[in-house]
Amino acid sequence: MINRNRLFSGGLIDRNILIKFKFNGKPLQGYQGDTLASALLANDIHLVGRSFKYHRPRGILTSGSEEPNALVQLGKGAETEPNARATEIELYDGLEASSQNCWPSVNHDIGALNNLFSRILPAGFYYKTFMWPPSMWMFYEYFIRRAAGLGEAPKEKNPSRYEQKFFYCDVTVVGAGVNGLTAALTAARAGASVLLVDEKPELGGYLLNAKSRINNLDTKKWIKDTVKELMALENVTVLNRTAATGYYDYNYVTALQKITNHLPNSLSKQPRERFWRIRSKEVILAQGAFERPLVFSGNDRPGIMMASSAQTYVNQYGVLPGNAVTLFTNNDHAYSVAVDLISKGAKVIIVDIRSNISEKIRKLCEQNKIETYISHAVIKTDGSKKISSITVQELSEDKQSFVGEAVTIGTDLLLMSGGWNPAVQLFSQSRGKLKYDDQISSFIPDVLVDNQAVIGSNNGDFNLKQSLMSSYEAGLGAAHRTGNKQEVENFINDANEPIEFITAEVVPYVLGSKPVTHGSKHFIDFQNDVTAADIFLAQREGYVSVEHTKRYTTTGMATDQGKTSNVNALALMSHIQQKPVGDVGHTTFRPPYVPQTFGAIAGRNVDQYFDPQRLTAIHEWHIDNGAVFEDVGQWKRPYFYPKKVETMTEAVNRECIAARASVGILDASTLGKIDIQGPDAAKFLNLIYTNAWSKLEIGACRYGLMCNEHGMVFDDGVTTRLGENHYHMTTTTGGAARVMSWLEEFLQTEWLDMKVYCTSVTEQWTVLSICGPNSRKLLASLTEDDISNEELPYMRMKEAKVCGVDARIFRISFTGELSFEINVSARYGRYVWDKVIEAGKKFNITPYGTETMHVLRAEKGFIIVGQDTDGSATPSDLNMDWIVSKKKEDFLGKRSFLRPDTAKNGRKQLVGLLINDKKTVVPEGSHIVEEVSKQPPMKMEGHITSSYFSPTLGHPIAMAMLKNGKARNGDLVKIPLMNGKVVEATVTENVFYDKAGARQND
Amino acid sequence: MKYSLLNLVRNAFSYHENWQEAWTNPGLKKEYDIIIVGGGGHGLGTAYYLAKQFGLKNIAVLEKGWIGGGNTGRNTTIIRSNYLWDESAALYNHAVNLWEGLSSELNYNVMFSQRGLFHLAHTVHDMQEITRRGYSNHLNGIDAEILNKEDVLKKIPFINGDGRYPIMGALLQRRGGTARHDAVAWGYARAAENLGVDIIQNCEVTGINITKGIVTGLETTRGSVKAKKVGLVPAGHSSVLANMAGFQLPINSVPLQALVSEPIKPVLDCVIMSNAVHVYVSQSDKGELVVGAGSDAYNSYSQRGSFDMIEHIMGPLVELFPIFSRLKMLRQWGGIVDVTPDRSPIIGKTPIENLFINCGWGTGGFKATPGSAHVFAETVATGEPSKIAAPFSIDRHYSGALVDEAAAAAVAH
Amino acid sequence: MFVIKCPYCGERDQTEFSCHGESHIARPENPNEVGDVEWGKYLFFRSNPKGMHYERWTHDHGCRRWFNVQRHTVTDKIMQTYKMGQPKPKGIND
């Protein structure tokens, strides 16, 4: 045998396949089918990690996902994973793992000094100290932070891929133990579509390890047959290595499937994990139960393990973790573990805290030559990095004192069994209500939610035959309720277990050689180092609510989320507070059931798929012509087009001048566009916009402002009447979806009788905006239609053919230049663009981006909603009273203008600013102050919303929202900058260029 | 007994068996001068300042469950004061000033850690927004630094500056950070009880007694109680209590969720907020990454939200910090937040005389705790809103004088 | 994560929908005749009950129609959905 603790036969491992791995750098060997934990135990390695607070040596406590101690740093580099549970890591060739939270090594850990000072580090010690001097907290905290934490995050980007899957079915069964298998098979036979998930690689659950029988078959055989049948059924999906992690409303279950985690990473091209989102008509929970630790002095050393886990290591992995075994129990069931270990050659002593044991158990002990210490307790353990001996002593009748002498017994494996806690976490997440069951001394499901069942030990039902019957019924019921009515004969005839778990006494804590609060370490939460003394302290200090105790001591907040600690903590609280456990209550169980990889929840929504990119039909051209892009909502828009050595300022200046001197072209396709039709369209627009729309002629365009009902501007744009009952609305790029919803909201919820139909057509049109004195000449060369000022004046639209393509030409201008917005079907967009560019060469056509557009419009004093407005400006605040109809009875936002604060004088109002030094471009967002002082605070009276150097005018211009701005024309204002400089500016009107509008109107 | 290292060592010799209760559980008296409804940080703090600052006696705090069990114990513990509007800046900065001395004041370590808070900017519009806010903060005397991309990448290791929405810069408030949320409730409770305040847990208010428009007392699950003044600080249940008193509030109560990762060694030394990418993350002293998710748009009192809010936060988190991808979510939870139209709180009088309210903190109440408690105490004690609280009256919803942090920043965390 | 029955499309996952707050709040017929307080109430004040709630949802990733949902805000159970314009159902659960 290559492994010291490996048995020659038995178990589900494959002794023909040897696997090499490293732990803490040491080369080791295991077999196919091992977990890291079983392989370490096979190699007689018990010391695996260090605890969170006291850095105490810790070993392997369990064999499953509830493991609080044996957490390791798995893998290296970009693929390293912190806090991986050794009990769940399937061994693969080349696996490397190391201990966490220790330095320099798990054997010699400096942090263990904490253990020496543990007397002054009780629960909540940090609330009582580190307060002097007050300025020093962050100094202390630096060290606290470095001492805390467990494993280490990778330092590189995760190379793994994660998939997601939506799944819908009739019945989901969580847990493929014998009960889950029974329910799943029954439902499947009845015709239901069934999903069966289990977190382990091997289906079958705990009874894979036990000597029980079902239908007169060895359980292992029965499991094998049942799984085989399930696998063959077309209406059944079976997922192993899949933990159901969350159970939300309306039977929405999330599950995390490990796909390549158990394989050498280099082999895998598949995703690492798949995240399942399951909507199931019925859910059956069959997750089983967790064995409960006993709370005694020194119960945390390596070599102390749950009894059932030892049984698993022996029977499933062929590993006998110790030879001189002591089993400390409060229930009958643990005796079956003893029998299994003895059959593999171990020597077993049983310490039973109960005063009496049954005749049946006594006989069993006789038959198997088990030495028993009845009414005894383990009062002390020894062994620094692994258990070496225990001390036992007889308890008095009331268990409050000792009788007789303490006896020390050499032991290399101490098993504990404090009874079983049903795994009610998912049930509780689903809003199911729990109750405390005195017989098993734990919480069990009480009030179920709709379309749900809980079966087997998950339901507190530990009688094998009875629970299998219930499982059959649960499966049948679920199938029937989902309309699958095929008859299914009950296929469970008989079942039995050698020793069943029937009852467990509450043992709040076991008397130790020292009083429980006097520095004796009775651990309750192993990972977080919460002791019974800490629970006592919390009660003494008034943290008596179960949530207070949890938060003050951190019990139940470790990575096992209280699976091993919660019930023991509650039992102790109940003991101290002298009230029933049920009255102490329990904390809320929160998802996930087991920790769940961030990357798997994110799925493919990262990198290039993080958020869709919206691209116009011209996008490739922009790239080819060196555009720098800006993100506007999801759109990628050209920001500016730098020539080789140009800075942004140089490029923008060049683009501005070209547009004013000859022709500029802008891809304006991202503007929101909504097609509005219906006999009430004009009436509708009258209510939506602040200005009047009734008299707009067909073919005419009009600018409009939209306010929300608070009277604040929230979008603007030009709307054109295309026909009698047909309008084309444009919106801001970022506001398109919001406007569409706004229109629909009023049409669908408020004005139900209006006949108006809105359709978003943003992506249907490519919009080429050409502007500049030569723009008409350019366009004329591309169309045979008449586009003269008489035929197509300012603020008119004409349908025409441009480059042979049907187009709508809008004579509108956001730059103040003669301007045409050519709308063509997006599929011809690039074609027309190329033709325009080609024809424009003789006019030195210059593509410009959003920054130039912003400069040009600012020169004309046009606002940008979202930049010059912030949701708190009315049209009047924007100096746009001209666009607010005085005649209209009603429009959205109108009433709010009358409110006292909205109507008051002296609100912040839009003004233009000329910078006095003629050269400083003040930052957008800087503020105007009433008076400059050396140090803040300074009273503010306005802020800069837009600020540019105007190449046309040769000096900076700015717009600002200034208190009482409308009445401040000519005032000198001061803008202190962060660097201490104060910029002076003069208030002016906000149109800086071509005030008469001759250029655009011509 | 004073909390100190010395006393901790001294008590170690007696096995910590001599520590007194941090607060007791007294019975409900028949009558109080002032009753504060709601035993979260804001409510307990109010009682503390009423006793400490205004020397008032005969005060009770009624809590329907366990103190600190509402949003005080459910938030992501972020503290900052870099709000846009003068009114908000004054309120939140008052809070930060108090936070800085709070551990000493209460003799309870609330672990206020000024590790710095970054608002990331990813677009030109974001840059305009943080610049405006940065300037406004600066001129209001609130520390603010406007950083460019290089500064951000230098200061925050492992952050991805070149994702779908590249980082363009950030607004840094160095005085911002985090605190230990539970400790705030416990610290105030202990200090308040030392000044004679009765803290009554498991006492749910079931009715508000009003005579001729004046509040006279309360009905509770532990019996009737008279009161000369009542202050409601019931985050998550503000409308429920207002409805008992016969008036409505401009509030919707919606679920807000958060989550933590498993504890890991330090990787993130500051608080990160990104409105554009939707990330709110810091690392606790225990080593857990604390991540704020969004709030659902539907009203709910169930303290749980929909799972897609958790999913929506994960893409952004991994996008911004690709090294977090292999870490694991340990626990997710929800709280009920009372959201006002302008994302600013309501502090002040109600239509009922001697009945005051402090509510509507939405997703961001924790950071304001000491400031909120302090100005509300003044409001209750004097009967008139304090200067800082005055702009946050209910009446602003009629006059239009909103303090619109929502419109300005899209999200007001 | 609710399952919502769109009155037009049938049962769908919540992720296809969005919620828009309390329903049955009619915009005043003549806003100009309404006082500041009443107008403020229309704009901002909501019943926000701990119990039965009537609210507006849209089927965004579906038919894009608005409709009403009657839902309990503690259990989150949806009692019924109904089209816009239909009167608020009178239920014993109110």
Pick A895's closest partner by Cβ from C32, C56, C64.
C32
Selected from 3.40.50.2300, 3.30.70.3040, 3.50.50.60, 3.40.50.80, the CATH number assigned to the domain covering A293-418 reads 3.50.50.60
Which chain B residues in 82-141 lie under 8 Å from chain A, judged by CB atoms?
A: 86, 100-101, 103-104, 107-109, 111-115, 122-125, 128-136, 138-141
Pick C55's closest partner by Cβ from B239, B249, B299.
B299
The pLDDT tens digits of the residues spanning A357-370 come to: 999 999 999 999 99
* Residues of chain A neighbouring C38 (CB-CB closer than 8 A): none
Interface contact B308-C45, CB threshold 8 A: no
In the complex, which subunits touch B with 3 or more CB pairs below 8 angstroms?
A, C
Task: Give the end-to-end CA distance of chain C in Å, rounded to a whole number.
Answer: 23
Which chain C residues in 44-83 lie under 8 Å from chain A, judged by CB atoms?
A: 56, 58, 64-66, 75-76
The pLDDT tens digits of the residues spanning B71-81 come to: 999 999 999 99
Lowest mean pLDDT among A501-505, A788-792, A821-825, B373-377: A501-505
pLDDT for A505: 85
Contact by Cβ (8 Å): A307, A416: yes
User: How close A899 gets to chain C, by Cα (Å)?
Assistant: 6
Chain B contact probe: residue of A514, A521, A576, A631 with most B CBs at under 10 A: A631
The topology (CATH level 3) of A515-589 is Arc Repressor Mutant, subunit A (1.10.10)
* Residue closest to A602 by CA, chosen among A265, A279, A273: A273
Chain C contact probe: residue of A250, A251, A254, A751 with most C CBs at under 10 A: A250
The pLDDT tens digits of the residues spanning B283-331 come to: 999 999 999 999 999 999 998 989 999 999 999 999 999 999 999 999 9
CATH H superfamily, domain B114-175+253-339: D-Amino Acid Oxidase, subunit A, domain 2 (3.30.9.10)
C-alpha distances (whole Å) from B12 to each of A118, A144, A480, A530 are: 9, 20, 63, 16
Quote the CA–CA distance of A944 and A922 in Å, as a whole number.
8
The answer, for A612 touching chain C at a CB cutoff of 8 Å, is no
Interface contact B300-C18, CB threshold 8 A: no
User: How close A879 gets to chain C, by Cα (Å)?
Assistant: 23
pTM exceeding the 0.95 threshold for the entire prediction? yes
Share of chain A above pLDDT 70, in %: 100
pLDDT for B408: 57
The pLDDT tens digits of the residues spanning A305-358 come to: 999 999 999 999 999 999 999 999 999 999 999 999 999 999 999 999 999 999
User: How close C54 gets to chain A, by Cα (Å)?
Assistant: 14
Region A676-693: what's the mean pLDDT?
97
User: By three-state DSSP, how is residue A771 classified?
Assistant: strand
Q: What's the token pair of residue A172?
A: 């989901």
Interface contact C46-B398, CB threshold 8 A: no
* Residues of chain A neighbouring B138 (CB-CB closer than 8 A): 936, 978
The answer, for A733 touching chain B at a CB cutoff of 8 Å, is no
CATH number attached to the domain at C3-83: 3.30.2270.10
Pick B252's closest partner by Cβ from C1, C21, C71.
C21
R_g of chain C, CA atoms, integer Å: 15
Pick A248's closest partner by Cβ from C1, C26, C27.
C1
Region A517-531: what's the mean pLDDT?
93
> Is residue C93 over pLDDT 70?
no
**Residue A27 preceded by cis peptide, ω within 30:** no
What distance lies between CA B273 and its chain's CA centroid? 16
Quote the CA–CA distance of A747 and A725 in Å, as a whole number.
16
CATH number attached to the domain at A162-289+422-496: 3.50.50.60
Q: Where in chain B is the domain with CATH 3.30.9.10?
A: 114-175+253-339
Contact by Cβ (8 Å): B178, B114: no
* Residues of chain B neighbouring A899 (CB-CB closer than 8 A): 398-400
Interface contact A890-C32, CB threshold 8 A: yes
pLDDT class of A1 with cuts at 50, 70, 90: low
Region C34-41: what's the mean pLDDT?
97
Phi, psi of A895 (to 5 degrees): -60, -35
Pick B250's closest partner by Cβ from C20, C39, C45.
C45
Quote the CA–CA distance of A836 and A669 in Å, as a whole number.
15
Pick C36's closest partner by Cβ from A248, A279, A899.
A899
The 10 Å Cβ neighbour count of residue A73 is 21
pLDDT class of B412 with cuts at 50, 70, 90: very low
CATH number attached to the domain at A14-128: 3.10.20.440
If you search the block for the tokens 């009178």, which residue do you land on? C90
Amino acid in position A558: A
Question: At CB < 8 A and 24+ separation, what contacts does A735-738 make?
Answer: A735/A672, A735/A865, A735/A866, A736/A671, A736/A672, A736/A673, A736/A674, A736/A760, A736/A762, A737/A672, A738/A714
* Residues of chain C neighbouring B298 (CB-CB closer than 8 A): 19, 55, 71
pLDDT for A266: 60
Contact by Cβ (8 Å): A330, A503: no
Interface contact C36-A752, CB threshold 8 A: no
The pLDDT tens digits of the residues spanning A690-748 come to: 999 999 999 999 999 999 999 999 999 999 999 999 999 999 999 999 999 999 999 99
* Residues of chain A neighbouring B146 (CB-CB closer than 8 A): 978
The pLDDT tens digits of the residues spanning B326-372 come to: 999 999 999 999 999 999 999 999 999 999 999 999 999 999 999 99
Contact by Cβ (8 Å): B96, B388: no
The answer, for C36 touching chain B at a CB cutoff of 8 Å, is yes
pLDDT class of B373 with cuts at 50, 70, 90: very high
Q: Where in chain A is the domain with CATH 3.50.50.60?
A: 162-289+422-496, 293-418
pLDDT for A30: 97
Interface contact A248-B306, CB threshold 8 A: yes
Pick B328's closest partner by Cβ from A595, A712, A943.
A595
Quote the CA–CA distance of B98 and A110 in Å, as a whole number.
38
Burial A930-952 (b: 16+ CB within 10 A, else e): eeeeeeeebebbbbbbbbbbbbb
CATH class of the domain comprising B25-77+181-250+342-409: alpha beta
pLDDT class of B411 with cuts at 50, 70, 90: very low
> Is residue B409 over pLDDT 70?
no
List, in sequence order, the alpha helices (H) in A200-305. Answer: 219-232
pLDDT class of B7 with cuts at 50, 70, 90: very high
If you search the block for the tokens 């109110």, which residue do you land on? C94
Q: What is the DSSP string of A152-203?
A: ---SS-----EEEEEEEEEEEEE--BHHHHHHHHHHHHTT--EEEE-SSSST
Which chain B residues in 215-244 lie under 8 Å from chain A, judged by CB atoms?
A: none
Query: At a CB cut-off of 8 Å and minimum separation 6, what does C35 contact?
Result: none
Q: Where in chain B is the domain with CATH 3.50.50.60?
A: 25-77+181-250+342-409
The answer, for B293 touching chain C at a CB cutoff of 8 Å, is no
The answer, for B299 touching chain C at a CB cutoff of 8 Å, is yes
A111 or A829: whose pLDDT is higher? Answer: A829
If you search the block for the tokens 């300025």, which residue do you land on? A135
Interface contact C46-B251, CB threshold 8 A: yes
pLDDT for B155: 97
Interface contact A129-B326, CB threshold 8 A: no
Quote the CA–CA distance of A124 and B109 in Å, as a whole number.
10
Q: What's the token pair of residue A467?
A: 């629970």
The pLDDT tens digits of the residues spanning A573-589 come to: 999 999 999 999 999 89
Pick C44's closest partner by Cβ from B239, B250, B297.
B250
Q: Which residue of A has its CA nearest to B24?
A: A542
Which chain A residues in 436-475 lie under 8 Å from chain B, judged by CB atoms?
A: none
Instruction: Give all strands of the β-sheet with A71-74 in edge-to-edge order.
Output: A26-32, A14-23, A95-99, A71-74, A81-85
Strand partners, B210: B215
Quote the CA–CA distance of B271 and B280 in Å, as a whole number.
8
In the complex, which subunits touch A with 3 or more CB pairs below 8 angstroms?
B, C
The 10 Å Cβ neighbour count of residue B47 is 32
The 10 Å Cβ neighbour count of residue A522 is 28
Quote the CA–CA distance of A755 and A174 in Å, as a whole number.
52
Query: At a CB cut-off of 8 Å and minimum separation 6, what does B13 contact?
Result: none
The region that residue A612 occupies, defined by phi over 0 for left and psi between -120 and 50 for alpha, beta otherwise, is beta
Interface contact C64-A744, CB threshold 8 A: yes
Quote the CA–CA distance of A927 and C25 in Å, as a whole number.
40
Q: What is the DSSP string of A60-97?
A: ---SSTT-SS-EEEES-GGG-EEEEETTTPBP-TTEEE
CATH number attached to the domain at A667-843: 3.30.1360.120
Interface contact A937-B139, CB threshold 8 A: yes
Query: At a CB cut-off of 8 Å and minimum separation 6, what does A608 contact?
Result: B164
With helix as H, strand as E and coil as C, how does A778-845 read?
HHHCCCCCCCCCCCCCCCEEEEEEECCEEEEEECCCCCCCCEEEEEEEHHHHHHHHHHHHHHHHHHCC
Pick C1's closest partner by Cβ from A250, A431, A899.
A250
User: How close C88 gets to chain B, by Cα (Å)?
Assistant: 18
Share of chain A above pLDDT 90, in %: 93
* Residues of chain A neighbouring B104 (CB-CB closer than 8 A): 131-132, 134
The answer, for B249 touching chain C at a CB cutoff of 8 Å, is yes
The pLDDT tens digits of the residues spanning A398-453 come to: 888 999 999 999 999 999 999 999 999 999 999 999 999 999 999 999 999 999 99
Quote the CA–CA distance of A224 and A204 in Å, as a whole number.
8
Q: Which residue of B has its CA nearest to C34?
A: B398
